[in-house]
A and B are shown apart, each in its own frame.
Chain A
Amino acid sequence: MTIIDGADAPYWEGLAEGRLHLPRCAGCSRWLWPAVSRCGHCGSEDIAWVERAMAGTIFSWTRTWHRFALTEDIDLPYVSAVITVDDCGIRLLGRIDDPGQVDPVIGESVQGRIGKTHVAGRDIPTIIWSRG
């Protein structure tokens, strides 16, 4: 279950349909993230949700080894990352496949697929990124 109650609702609805939808100001064409109800640059309240490919580059990452509360159902260690989505520049939080524990490289290209993360007692749609 995903809690859909904010300005980012179309993002979660998109993932549920297998697509990546991201918000762009219809007034000044800037990509806006986190999702907002009004563009702080130009003042427009006309926000368009536009599909982007699940392709990007690694902006930064961490590999978690400690068993933090809420993460009991995620196998350790796991890699969390900030990914810059191609053709829009929005950075998304996600996870990267880490089969051989080879350290990710900032700037490296990644391809995403929609998976899920069981955390805090529920499944949340998640973009899982793969390298190479």
Chain B
Amino acid sequence: MHPLYGTTAVAGIGLKQYKRGASPLPEQGVLVEAILDACADAGFDPAEVDGFVSYGDDRNEPVRLMSALGTRELRWSSSIWGGGGGGVAGAFGLAAAAILSGQASAVIVFRALVEGSSGRLSAAVMAHHLNDHMLAAGVVAPAQVCAIRANRLYQHHQVPQAVAAELVRASYYHGARNPEAIAYGKPFDPAEIAASRWIAEPFHLFDCSRENDGAGAFLMVSAERARDLAKPPVYLLGCANGAEKGWGDLLENDDEALYPSAGFRPIARRLYTETGLKPAEIDVVQLYENFSAQGVASLIDHGFCDYDNVAEVIRFENLIAPSGRLPVNTGGGNFAQGFIHGIGTAYEAVKQLRGESANPVPGARTCLLAGGPGAPTVSSAIFGNVIP
């Protein structure tokens, strides 16, 4: 069995979320609150946390958190490379690696984002990639890069564009029913998608995630230790991160077959091989949707459907809890739960497997967390409330 399989677990979770620009505290303060919540959730002394990991160029260097948390000794801190959200799932694998190798015993996985402290996320992500080739083409935002790939997916590979609206609608449906979601209590008319203004074709405003202020934190410990803490463990069953040849930061010169994908094909292959699980054994999916088409591509990459049957699988009724066969973004996802660089999707993964979701999937045992699609390096993880 692969060393990551069921050997570590998420023991506590914390999420603080506000409208963009509305955080009552600076970024580090919000992050500290989220970490304290995660520790309280687990019944764990925050001073005993000895490791930290983030992703996506988070600016909160862990050593600076020590004073506020009362940290006794920082033994390990790290981050996943890459400016986008591709690393969100990979950060859990990195935390597990630190725990399993004895470099740390209690690791906080986190992401914090407050506009007043760090500026706009979209600008930060692009600053990571921008060069004169992109600037000269007027391509300066993640929406445009993803739009170009989406047009290839729709126009060349003949994926019907209507499936993207099904995915958006499912996220808003769940978000409207989740008291912790930005979209809570707001009925969503799918006609709003096409009626909203163009951003970059084929994306309307409602095809795009919109940023929030806030922070998410997850306490990870060994599976054995997690069983002694307050909440039922949510085990990490597998995690993969990276890119294959023909994919990456290649000025749009990716391999032609990989170009319209979200970059997850090698990740999904490894994840399923290393866990022994198949797509049909995934009970619920938390999917990072930066943009609607990339969410669709992510589901294709992870083997839930292909170019031929995509319209049969990515249907609103099939994507919603409790009745759909492929419940996706049961908290509302980045679109409707809120977008703190994707950390909310991991939060919902844990809530769902604990039976705490506002949109529970009956009997769910496994949950796929798919990180930011289309990023040069991407990652996914599978969590379980049992070790199947």
Contacts and interface: CB of A to CB of B under 8 A. Distances in A.
Interface stretch (B105-113, B147-155, B212-220): B147-155
A72 to B, nearest CB: 11
A94 B253 contact: no
Interface in B244-290: 249-253, 259
Contact of B144 (A8, A68, A107): A68
Contacts of B135: 70, 117, 119-120, 124
* Contact-residue size bin, chain B (C-beta under 8 Å from the other chain): 20 to 34
A125 B249 CA distance: 22
A107 B152 CA distance: 11
Contact of A60 (B123, B152, B249): B152
B140 A69 contact: yes
A62 B151 contact: yes
Contacts of A78: 138
B253 A62 contact: no
Contacts of B139: 80, 93
B192 interface: no
A46 B136 CA distance: 28
A117 B151 CA distance: 23
Interface string B112-127: 0000000000010000
Nearest to B197: A65
A81 interface: yes
B156 interface: yes
Nearest to A90: B253
A116 B138 CA distance: 11
Contacts of A65: 197-201
A66 B200 CA distance: 7
Nearest to A1: B132
A92 B137 CA distance: 9
A92 B250 CA distance: 11
Contact of A80 (B138, B156, B249): B138
B136 A63 contact: no
Contact of A117 (B138, B141, B144, B201): B138
Contact of A59 (B132, B133, B152, B202): B152
Nearest to A89: B253
A93 B140 contact: no
A71 interface: yes
A26 B135 CA distance: 30
Contacts of A69: 123, 140
B245 to A, nearest CB: 9
A64 B200 contact: yes
B297 to A, nearest CB: 13
A65 B198 CA distance: 6
Given A60-B149, A106-B155, A94 B137 contact: yes
A91 interface: yes
B296 interface: no
B378 interface: no
A117 B136 contact: yes
A105 B134 CA distance: 21
Contacts of A119: 135-136, 138, 140
A3 interface: yes
Contacts of B42: none
Interface of A: 2-3, 8, 12, 33-34, 59-66, 68-71, 74, 77-78, 80-82, 90-95, 105-107, 116-117, 119-120, 124-126
Given A64-B147, A80-B138, 19 more contacts: A60-B148, A62-B148, A62-B202, A64-B138, A65-B197, A66-B143, A66-B197, A69-B140, A74-B138, A91-B251, A92-B251, A93-B139, A107-B156, A117-B135, A117-B136, A117-B137, A125-B136, A126-B136, A126-B137
14 contacts: A33-B250, A34-B249, A34-B251, A60-B148, A60-B156, A62-B148, A66-B141, A80-B138, A82-B252, A92-B133, A93-B137, A95-B136, A120-B135, A125-B136
